[in-house]
Amino acid sequence: MIRISVDLNSPLPAYQQIIQSLKIEILSGRLKNGDRLPPIRELAKLLKLNPNTVAKAYYTLENEGFVEGRPGSGNWVNVRAPGLNGLRRSMLDGETRAYLDRAFSLGANLDDVRNSVQRIAAHE
């Protein structure tokens, strides 16, 4: 099942949120090459979005090289391999940046952060 949700209170526009969610699904391997993305209509209905919004997300994904749209039959996952790694790295960097912002606002320094990461990772 696709884990896509849109948070109306987020400052991020809905279509961006869809793109993010789909990228995460692809990166995590839950969506593989050759899988069909949910039809625009069904996703729009599920999330109570304007179909154009979903269409825009799919179109952007297609432009960024993650998705292939076949007219009349839908949208299919078709990732060019280098794209995946690059994506993973850029998303990870984004997460790290956000985490570090929050961590430093607590008054911690880089050493505290490293210790915390190792400690928690050991438990996982």
Partner 1 sequence: MSDNILEIRNLTVRFRKRAAVDAVTVAFRRGEAVVIAGPNGAGKSTFLRCLAGAIVPDRGRVLYRQGLSRKNIGFLSDRLSLYEGWTLEEAWMFHRREFGIAEPARPTFQGIDLAPRRRIKNLSVGERTLFHLSLLMAQKPAVLLIDEVLHALDPYLRERFLEAVIEAMDEFQTAVIMVNHVFQETAQLPERVMIMDRGRFGLDESREDLERKVKKAAVAGEWPAEIPVLFETLSDLRKERYVYPFREEWAGKSGLDFKDVALGEIVKAFIGGAYVQKRAR
For partner 1, the closer of residues 26 and 47 by Cβ is: 47
Least Å distance, CB 4 to partner 1, is 13
Closest CA to 4 of 18, 31, 29, 51: 18
For partner 1, the closer of residues 40 and 61 by Cβ is: 40
Binding flags for partner 1, 26-65, as an x/- string (CB under 8 A):
--------------xx--xx-xxxxxxx------------
Least Å distance, CB 80 to partner 1, is 29
According to DSSP H, which parts of 4-109 are helical? Answer: 14-28, 40-47, 51-63, 81-105
Binding flags for partner 1, 77-116, as an x/- string (CB under 8 A):
----------------------------------------
Kindly state the tokens that stand for 48: 């109570």
Q: Alpha-carbon distance 24 to 19, whole Å?
A: 9
Q: Alpha-carbon distance 99 to 94, whole Å?
A: 9
Is 4 among the residues that bind partner 1 (CB under 8 A)? no
Q: Yes or no: say if 34 and 75 are a contact pair by the CB < 8 Å rule.
A: no
| Three-class DSSP category at 68 | strand
Residues of this chain that interact with partner 1 (CB under 8 A) are 6, 8-9, 11, 13-14, 40-41, 44-45, 47-53
